[in-house]
Amino acid sequence: MSFSPLIEQLITSLRCLPGVGPKSAQRMAMQLLERDRDGGRQLSEVLAAAMDGVGRCSQCRTFTEQDTCQLCLSVKRNRQLLCVVETPADVLAIEQAGGFNGCYFVLMGRLSPIDGVGPEQIGVDKLMALVQEQQVTEVIMATNPTVEGEATAYYIAEQLQSRGVIVSRIAHGVPLGGELEYIDGGTLAHALAGRKVIES
């Protein structure tokens, strides 16, 4: 015994969403059918439009439905400063923090030979071409502080340094508002090693 075939299909399809198990998929299906059919219809339309319409920015590789994204088109951004991140969500996080006025390059992943992700998949060639084309003077590596993120940062840094470009890495240390007592050892060691002289 189960729900009718169409409802079962809906529950199964909802499970393609991350973090949605059988119970929440069932709850979602019931909620849409009982109380929000218009919302469900709209979600269906937007999903179809986005799955087919969203491609990648021809310059920075982030997701966009245009040929070039708004940030790359903006005349207010400093094209000689490039920040390399793993995902489009990272671009948003840095933009929301404010204070960065350069352009971005989105790897759409990180080097991970085990999963078959090499330099080609994360667009290293495209990055090198962009650096040359825009006469970039500094590249900030803002990949995640994971083993793979670090490896990616150092691989790209090596490639760029041989072309005479300044490469920097975002600072790692104790987050603002964090309490030393609860910070992991790796981060603390980083924070100590990366200490700065307080200038008088």
Site residues (CB under 8 A) for a copy of itself? 1-7, 9-10, 13-14, 16-19, 24, 26-34, 36-37, 39-54, 63-66, 69-71, 87-89, 92, 95-96, 108
- C-beta of 106 vs 136, nearer to a copy of itself: 106
- C-beta of 17 vs 188, nearer to a copy of itself: 17
- C-beta of 47 vs 170, nearer to a copy of itself: 47
- C-beta of 88 vs 123, nearer to a copy of itself: 88
Instruction: Kindly state the smallest distance separating residue 182's Cβ from a copy of itself, in Å.
Output: 22
Q: Looking up tokens 């399809």, which residue turns up?
A: 13
Instruction: Kindly state the smallest distance separating residue 152's Cβ from a copy of itself, in Å.
Output: 16
Instruction: Kindly state the smallest distance separating residue 118's Cβ from a copy of itself, in Å.
Output: 17
Of the candidates 136, 129, 130, 132, the one whose C-alpha atom is nearest the C-alpha of residue 80 is 136
Instruction: Kindly state the smallest distance separating residue 48's Cβ from a copy of itself, in Å.
Output: 4
- C-beta of 67 vs 125, nearer to a copy of itself: 67
Instruction: Kindly state the smallest distance separating residue 185's Cβ from a copy of itself, in Å.
Output: 28
